[in-house]
Structure formats: C-alpha cells, structure tokens
Amino acid sequence: MKLKLVLWLLSLLLKRALRRKPRFREKLERMRRLDWGVATEDLSICRYYRMSPEGITSAKGLPVDLDLELRFADADTALKILKKPTQQAFLDGMMADKVRVVGDSADMTKLQSLLKHL
C-alpha cells in the first residue's frame, strides 16, 4: 500500500515541477517526451508516467510502449531505492538483482536528471 501511495504522490510532484520549476520544464522540452513506468517484478504494483512539455499523465498499469521500465524485486526494495534515487542506489540494486531496468540506459540517465529538480 505504501508503494502505491508513493507512486501516486510522485505523479503529483512531477506535475507540480512542470508548472513551477523552469529548469525541469526546460530539460523536458529538450527531451520532447519520456514515457516510463515503475513496477514490482510480479506486476502486483505498477504505475506509468507519460511526460511531455505539454503535460504529465499518470495511471495504474504498465503499457508495452514505454521507453523505460524500472522493475523492483518487491515493494520494500522499491520504497528503499525510490526514497533516495541516486545512481549508486540503482547500481547497487542492479548488482544485487533487486532492480531491473527495461529499456535504454540513456533514458535512465535522462530520468535521473529530471528527478533532481523535484
């Protein structure tokens, strides 16, 4: 339940950053679009985000056309890493087989650069 709430709150923070933070908006305009999602490996908890300079939408589920997916072994691991989404935390999680990135690693770098501005 906590992870679902955190992912929903993340959508609110992303929308707020788009409205209020010029650096966030500027970076997103350079990217044009980034569609990404977060899920547990068993897909019991999943949410996706479609981000463009025109707006950000978010909903439950995990469509197949996403640019990037972050898959976590379980909800506790996801909460631990998403609380402090540093590059080192993701690398440690991937080395321990607790995190799996589906998609281009360049998109992961773009996402991390955007999340710095939340």
Residues in the chain: 118
pTM of the predicted model over 0.75: yes
Is the Cα dihedral 89, 62, 57, 65 positive or negative?
positive
Q: pLDDT confidence of 91, banded at 50, 70, 90?
A: confident
Q: Which two tokens stand for residue 31?
A: 């990217």
Predicted pLDDT at 40: 95
Q: Based on the structure, what is the number of domains in the chain?
A: 1
Whether the predicted pLDDT of 16 surpasses 90:
yes
How much is the mean pLDDT over the chain?
92
Whether the predicted pLDDT of 47 surpasses 90:
yes
Whether the predicted pLDDT of 84 surpasses 90:
no
Q: Which domain holds residue 28?
A: 2-115
DSSP for 23-92, please give it.
HHHHHHHHH--EEEEEEETTSSSEEEEEEETTEEEEEES--TT-SEEEEESSHHHHHHHHHS--HHHHHH
The DSSP bridge pattern shows strands 55-60 and 68-72 to be unpaired
Whether the predicted pLDDT of 85 surpasses 90:
no
Report, as an integer, the average pLDDT of 31-40: 94
CA distance 93 to 37: 17
For residue 75, the domain's CATH number is 3.30.1050.10
Whether the predicted pLDDT of 86 surpasses 90:
no
